[in-house]
Structure 1
Amino acid sequence: MEFIARPVRLSTQSADFDATFKARLHWSAEADAAIEQRVAEILADVQARGDAAVLEYTHRFDGLAAEGMEALTLTADELRAAFDGLPAEQREALEAAARRVRSYHEAQKKASGETWSYRDEDGTLLGQKVTPLDRVGIYVPGGKAAYPSSVLMNAIPAQVAGVSEIIMVVPTPRGDKNPLVLAAAYVAGVTRAYTIGGAQAVAALAYGTATIPAVDKITGPGNAYVAAAKRRVFGTVGIDMIAGPSEILVLADGSTPAPWVAMDLFSQAEHDELAQSILLCPDLAYIEQVQAEIDRLLPQMPRAAIIAKSLSDRGALIHTRSMEEACEIANRIAPEHLEVSSQDPHRWEPSLRHAGAIFLGAYTSESLGDYCAGPNHVLPTSGTARFSSPLGVYDFQKRSSLIEVSEAGARKLGQIAAVLAYGEGLQAHARAAEMRMEKP
């Protein structure tokens, strides 16, 4: 079967560019009403019946007929055996990726996650205490594909942050356990693991069951049911984000080999028909070259049908007036992945304000960031990079303010507090401050 990928061709010089481009970008993050209703039922059922409901839904959705939760529990020995059973090449790659991810997040912790304090002139101590969450749950997708990289990217920053218990849930439809996923859990220091998925897994993590303890936060991507469940349990637990389809935006000046850029566009398009791949370039001849390479390379791709639909429905090759204009458009999009594929990427990087991750230079493919560069690959999507950040150590820590007021400080601050408290009509607040200004 022949597949054809035709990303829409746009030019910023066209009168209707803004309207056409906005329509191309649009993607609704709202799950449909049927999914929301079904998820609400599953969450309520798991909250009420616990393990029994989890077993029932796992049988129904994943085809696993287990008599008890022990059959869905992955032991530490099983994780270690999966690691030991991998070919040497896979073991070494997994460990090398884990080392780089761990090194990056250890540096991140040192830069932004330390406790600090100081004393002002009257001896009052002010500061911040940083402590890790006690227990987190990580959701690892399963079914259509296996994602050991997601295990590393979610578990390692939690471990570096100091989280004492990391619970992994991963669906294993028909009982197919991916050894790379299990081995990644071993390498990343997962504490407990269960072969469950879907909204029922999110419910078990949020509310707890007789087997699975309730966690403080749930991270990791999933399908529409998982996203809807995370949205609904937020408040009972923390969540990382509600992820939309994957995105890549390539800013190219025409100096990078066209096959490289075509394959980078494929790298996100192959995830999902709803994924979005966009090229911004001021060189029209180069855009033609990239389209020619898309045509040439597509038949070689095992996931050609998905790539073709993604590029045809949501992809775009955009001719810009300049690289400066391309940077402006990139900031409007605020993409998940942003490649600056130019001879001088550092010239353009200061102009780029909104992106989940920025990949500088022709040799920096987005795929390296997905697996082993070091920074986290869990990134904000759907324009949320305007106000959100990649998953990191800080997502698994919390900050408590430290305040120790001296006797002299109580007299000074008490006057200020009392005036403001009386102004708000809160007499007890004011008197509590004034009492400390008086000699006992």
Structure 2
Amino acid sequence: MNTQPGVFTDVFGEAKLGPVTLRNRIIKAATFEASTPDALVTEDLINYHRLPAAGGIGMTTVAYCAVTPGGRTDGWQLWMRPEAVPGLRRLTDAIHAEGAAISAQIGHAGPVANSRTNKAKAFAPVRFFNPLSMRFAKKASADDIDDITAAHANAARLAIESGFDAVEVHLGHNYLASSFLSPLINRRTDEFGGSLANRAKVARGLVRAVRQAVGGRIAVTAKLNMSDGVRGGISLEESLQTAKWLEEDGGLDALELTAGSSLLNPLYLFRGDAPIKEFANAFKPPLRWGIRMTGKKFLREYPYREAYLMDQAKQFRAELTMPLILLGGITNRETMDLAMAEGFDFVAMGRAVLAEPDLVNRIKNDGTEHSVRSLCTHCNKCMATIYSRTHCVVTDSPAPPASAVSDLRG
């Protein structure tokens, strides 16, 4: 663990994450791939992750491995079941062949789930209207919560069977666990509502169930909102207390710190330009017209800067001893070194690696010059591509054949 700010840690040195040894401290953050049209692994999905693995990343994270069919944000996303295992095994084998580790982000979208395309009920702390699906999510009963908790444990076991090195439990972005944590969304008056201790029961229960299911065979991490960026939502103070409870519970090998709400304020996480026109064009009328008219309220624009979540994350670093993963605005060596100097154990990269899968190798091979800069412009137009095929609109070209991937190793 690197919990002492100011102590030098080489971001390109080997690092332990629970029982797993990563070749460096750089993780590809989970970013939805839009590469599973039949909810199963495709060659496109394998190539999506093989590229950054060949490009030097320490571990890549497969996004939205939903624990149930109704837990997906859309019906074409992958969900964890025995039929998915052979394809997932091909995926993990391909990543391991490139020298990288691979994690499965497991979770339930809760009120963000699209019950229309999933053809299954969506669940939330209370009955909740999802404007993208134009459907209501059902208030989750205690039995529903038990079933979803058991599904997380089952998904973790399937991840082991599929060859994953780690699982990341999704506790952020107002997905199911995060929506229970939110005092704005969670208006319950039973054992899962009211006090933070009650609202945190779902998140803590999911992590405990996953840890019990996997033991020490693979690493367990979680993605947790530091804040929602929404008035009345999860605050930094409450999130820090939740993180302390998760640390006390002992179920996590590391915690990735995130922010924003997929329901109410997504750009609070991404920062940069607000691609309202491109986002609207991804939908059909009348939703397209609605996004064009009201998009500025949903896609609120925040200026981009390097390490833009660090100020909030440093407050967690000061109070916690568990390994922490810094996300948000990690694009060059100076920022990586700063994160290490501030006591963070790992850094996570999203858009920068989407734009340049070989960016990590380019930074590493740059030596002491530190002159390499990401080609990502933070235009966020990649957000709109998640409804077709996730890609960078600035740098993207047709995906290279698998035989050419090894050329990215550097």
**Could you say whether these structures have the same fold, taking a TM-score greater than 0.5 normalized by the shorter chain as the test?**
no
Higher-Rg structure is 1
TM-score if structure 2 supplies the norm length?
A: 0.29
TM-score if structure 1 supplies the norm length?
A: 0.28
